Amino acid sequence: MSRLFTILLAILCLVLGVGLGTCYWNRGWLTISSAADLFSIFASIAVVVSLLFIAFQVKQQTRLARAANSQAFVNIQSDFVLAAGSNQSLMEFYQTGGEKFETLDPSEQARYRYLVAWWLTFYENVQYQQDCGLLDEGVYKAWMKDMAGFIERRRVEKVWEFLKPNYSDTFIVHIQPYIDAVRKKH
């Protein structure tokens, strides 16, 4: 698109330059007043082409922002998975903490709530990015499937009432049906 814009602008300048040059030698087809009219037409065309170019750039930037957001979410998740995967006790705690939450001592319960809160904040951010139109629909749906699995696997319903006040009303409305579905199963 930018190449087309540059070529069009060069042609317009060339035609105007040739016309004005021949006008001054009294041999041309272009007078000063017709050159002004021609320049007005060229300027109007250039404005339209510029607006099209800007629209194209905005659309491309939006696509790039969506891709960057998607990659940022993957990076965040990868960091957590790598940290948990490299620490056996953390991985075991993360895998079983929800199932045996009631038997954990108070400090371990707090630790488990922090792990769940970290992930819920992550999913709330995914929801927020979607609401702002900054995620592709397919990427958003994939993260929501991941969230549904997380809620069930980690038994989030056991800590949800404690954590719920920390989240936006929009996110609460979104996540509550998932929590309720898990409560019905268990």
In this predicted model, what pLDDT tens digit does every residue of 55-109 receive, in sequence order? 888 888 888 887 787 778 778 777 777 777 788 888 888 888 888 899 999 999 9
Which of 4, 7, 37, 34 is closest to 22 using CA atoms? Answer: 34
| Residue pair 22/29 in contact by the 8 Å Cβ criterion | yes
Q: 26 pLDDT exceeds 90?
A: no
Select the more confidently predicted residue: 141 or 26.
Answer: 141
* pLDDT score at 60: 85
Select the more confidently predicted residue: 33 or 93.
Answer: 93
For the chain, the straight-line distance linking the first and the last C-alpha, in angstroms and rounded, comes to: 57
Q: 178 pLDDT exceeds 70?
A: yes
Distances (CA, A) of 49 to 9, 53, 57, 62: 9, 6, 12, 20
Q: pLDDT tens, 117-157? A: 999 999 999 998 899 888 889 989 999 999 999 999 999 99
- The model carries a pTM of 0.67
Q: 23 falls in which pLDDT band (50, 70, 90)?
A: low
Q: 22 pLDDT exceeds 70?
A: no
Q: 4 pLDDT exceeds 80?
A: no
Cα Dmax for the chain:
99
